[in-house]
Amino acid sequence: MASLRFSALTLTLLLFFLISPSHSQTCTSQKFTNNKLYQYCNDLPQLSSYLHWTYDSQKSTLSIAFVAPPAKSDGWIAWAINPTGTGMVGAQSLIAFKQSNGSMGVFTYNISSYQSIVESKLSFDVTDMSADYSDGLMRIFATVALPGGAATPVNQVWQVGPSVASNFPARHEFQPANLNSKGTLDLLGGQSTGGTGGGDSRIKRRNIHGILNAVSWGIMFPVGAMIARYVRAFPSADPAWFYLHVSCQFSAYVIGVAGWGTGLKLGSESKGIQYTDHRNLGIALFALATVQIFALFLRPKKDHKFRFYWNIYHHGMGYAILVLGIINVFKGLGILDPAQKWKSAYIVVISVLGGMALLLEAITWIVVLRRKSSKSTKPYDGFNNGPGRQEPLAP
């Protein structure tokens, strides 16, 4: 019995010491070394963050203490009011991080777009700015002078990032928690909310976009090309290989267009966020694949004098789509940053297809060379039917 009690006590102590203070506390249990007190506090719904605040309606000032763990120990945290929208673009931001001398600093950023994140004055005055860092948590303190008659509730945005380079915050992650770190702050009612519906919906569309494009450009197009390259080498597969090839490539095109359209929709909803290389490759793939599909209706007959040139064009265009598609799938994976198992799964799939292509290439060459060898040595009918009678060899 004593042994059982000792084990239970030991387990309890271990759990107590293993739980990080930053994860076990709520805003009501937090105290500040500067002894500042605030009228309200809220546990924000994303990124393990907290907001303490007091609103003075007579002076139209908002005093805040924003508390959050940075993404990494040398990272940054940010809190902002967005007077024009609900996201980061247009946000009037306070960003805190360790400076090169090791001290904490708070800096103001007027984020007009994701491509233009520079330190600048905000559209309203900010005073009493300071920051500290302890127990894995960074804290921003400031007093914001809101414009007279400021709307309530106000749109708030918060964020955390992994690192700082040359006193400039690096890009944060685009995981659901990061994309959903926004909400409203009811200055009069003392309530803070964080929206999750829009972010979750956008994440789903991003995932759908990635899956559609990986399946179409990254898997089905290579499979269709392999059918045309290797199955057609066997006379018994004619014309089945052609219909398989066309069906596979047309299905890949339809799925790819759906993924491309989803990407356009995501782009229109993400003003200021641009993945130029990924977008340009997607546009190029759509254009090349569209020309390739419609060129099917202009295919000359086998004995037509232009068929040779059409074959060069068709094969060249197909290989270009194949290479660009795989490259863009990897670029898309880099943007989505899914769990490593999904990246590994695609690498395995494309590696298996590559290995199969190498094996089929060797088999195809063996079949073709044997066929040519057979044709070059096989006599025509009548070769041995009489002395001196010999037909010319097949070309």
94-114 per-position pLDDT tens digit: 888 888 888 888 888 877 666
Long-range contacts of 146-154 (CB under 8 A, 24+ apart): 146/60, 146/61, 146/62, 147/60, 148/60, 149/60, 150/60, 150/187, 152/186, 152/187, 152/188, 153/184, 153/185, 153/186, 153/187, 153/189, 153/191, 154/81, 154/83, 154/184, 154/185, 154/187
Q: How many CB atoms lie within 10 A of CB 83?
A: 16
- pLDDT of 123-145, one tens digit each? 788 888 888 998 889 999 988 88
Phi/psi of residue 145, nearest 5 degrees: -90, 100
Tokens at residue 371, please?
């066929």
At 213, is the pLDDT very low, low, confident or very high (cuts 50, 70, 90)? very high
**Of residues 188 and 334, more confidently modeled:** 334
Residue 11: partners with Cβ closer than 8 Å, 6 or more residues away:
none
Tell me the two tokens of residue 58.
């007579």
pLDDT of the residue at 89: 74
> Which CATH architecture describes the domain 22-195?
Sandwich (2.60)
User: What is the pLDDT, as a whole number, of residue 367?
Assistant: 80
Give the per-residue pLDDT at 10.
39
Q: Hey, is 94 helix, strand or coil?
A: strand
Other CB atoms within a 10 A radius of the CB of residue 266 amount to 15
Amino acid at 123: S
Task: Select the CATH number that applies to the domain covering 201-372 from these four: 3.40.190.10, 2.30.30.90, 1.20.120.1770, 3.50.50.60.
Answer: 1.20.120.1770
CA distance 77 to 47: 10
Per-residue DSSP letter, 83: S
Better pLDDT: 323 or 375: 323
The mean pLDDT of 9-24, rounded to a whole number, is 39
- At 152 the pLDDT is 67
pTM of the model: 0.50
Q: Where are the beta strands (DSSP E) in the chain?
A: 40-43, 50-56, 61-68, 76-82, 92-98, 104-110, 125-134, 137-145, 154-161, 164-165, 168-169, 182-186, 191-194
**What pLDDT shows up at residue 267?**
74
pLDDT digits (tens, 9 = 90+) for 30-71: 878 777 878 888 888 888 889 888 888 778 888 889 999 998
Question: Residue 262 has what pLDDT?
Answer: 87
Please give the angle made by the CA atoms of 271, 65 and 129, to the nearest 5 degrees: 85
Beta strands 50-56; 40-43: pairing state: antiparallel
Would you say residue 164 has pLDDT above 70? Answer: yes
What phi and psi, each to the nearest 5 degrees, are found at residue 54?
Answer: -135, 130
How do the domains of the chain map onto residue ranges?
22-195, 201-372
Which tens digit of pLDDT belongs to each residue from 180-194? Answer: 888 888 776 666 665
pLDDT of residue 376: 63
